[in-house]
Amino acid sequence: MALYVQKFGGTSVGSVERIKAVAEKVKGFRDDGHQVVVVVSAMSGETNRLIGMANEINDEPTPREMDMLVSTGEQVTISLLALALHKLGVPATSYTGSQVGILTDSAHTKARIQRIETDEMRDDLDEGKVVVVAGFQGVDEEGNITTLGRGGSDTTGVALAAALGADECQIYTDVDGVYTTDPRVCSKAQRLDSITVEEMLELASLGSKVLQIRSVEFAGKYNVPLRVLSSFQDGPGTLIVAESDQDEDSMEEPLISGIAFTANEAKLTLLNTPDVPGVASRILGPIADANIEVDMIVQNVAPAGDYTDFTFTVAKGDYKKTLKILEEQVIPDLGGGEVNGDDNIAKVSLVGVGMRSHAGVASKMFRVLADENINIRMVSTSEIKISVVIDEKQMELAVRALHTAFGLDKSDIESE
Ligand X SMILES: Nc1ncnc2c1ncn2[C@@H]1O[C@H](COP(=O)(O)OP(=O)(O)O)[C@@H](O)[C@H]1O
Ligand Y SMILES: N[C@@H](CC(=O)OP(=O)(O)O)C(=O)O
Residue nearest to ligand X (CB): 9
Q: What amino acid occupies position 324? A: K
Burial group, residue 359, by CB count within 10 angstroms (0-12, 13-18, 19+): exposed
**Is 352 within 8 Å of 323 (Cβ atoms)?**
no
Which residue, 28 or 45, has its beta carbon nearer to ligand X?
Answer: 45
Which residue, 97 or 151, has its beta carbon nearer to ligand Y?
Answer: 151
**Is 292 within 8 Å of 330 (Cβ atoms)?**
no
Which residue, 207 or 337, has its beta carbon nearer to ligand X?
Answer: 207
The answer to whether residue 73 forms part of the interface with ligand Y (CB under 6 A) is yes
Judged by CB under 6 A, the chain residues 164 through 203 that form the site for ligand X are 173-175, 178-179, 181-182, 184
| Choices 59-67, 146-154, 319-327, 397-405 (CB under 6 A): range interacting with ligand Y | 146-154
Instruction: Count the residues of the shown chain that bind ligand X, applying the rule CB under 6 A.
Output: 18
Report what 282 binds from ligand Y, ligand X, none; CB cut-off 5-8 Å by kind: none
Axis-axis angle for helices 213-222, 197-205 (nearest 10): 160
Q: Which of 90, 133, 135, 318 binds ligand Y (CB under 6 A)?
A: 135
Which residue, 187 or 357, has its beta carbon nearer to ligand X?
Answer: 187
Backbone angles phi, psi at 206, to 5 degrees: -95, 5
Taking alpha carbons only, the member of 279, 193, 287 closest to residue 237 is 193
The answer to whether residue 150 forms part of the interface with ligand Y (CB under 6 A) is yes
Dump the DSSP string for 41-71: -PPTTHHHHHHHHHHHH-SS--HHHHHHHHT
Axis-axis angle for helices 119-126, 153-164 (nearest 10): 70
The answer to whether residue 396 forms part of the interface with ligand X (CB under 6 A) is no
Cβ at position 81, least distance to ligand X in Å = 15
The answer to whether residue 151 forms part of the interface with ligand Y (CB under 6 A) is yes
Across the strands, what pairs with 113? 104
Report what 175 binds from ligand X, ligand Y, none; CB cut-off 5-8 Å by kind: ligand X
- Which H or E run contains 281? helix 279-289
Residues in the chain: 416
The answer to whether residue 157 forms part of the interface with ligand Y (CB under 6 A) is no
Binding site for ligand Y (CB under 6 A): 9-10, 41-42, 47, 73, 135-136, 150-154
Contact residues: ligand X, CB under 6 A: 9-12, 41, 151, 173-175, 178-179, 181-182, 184, 208-210, 258
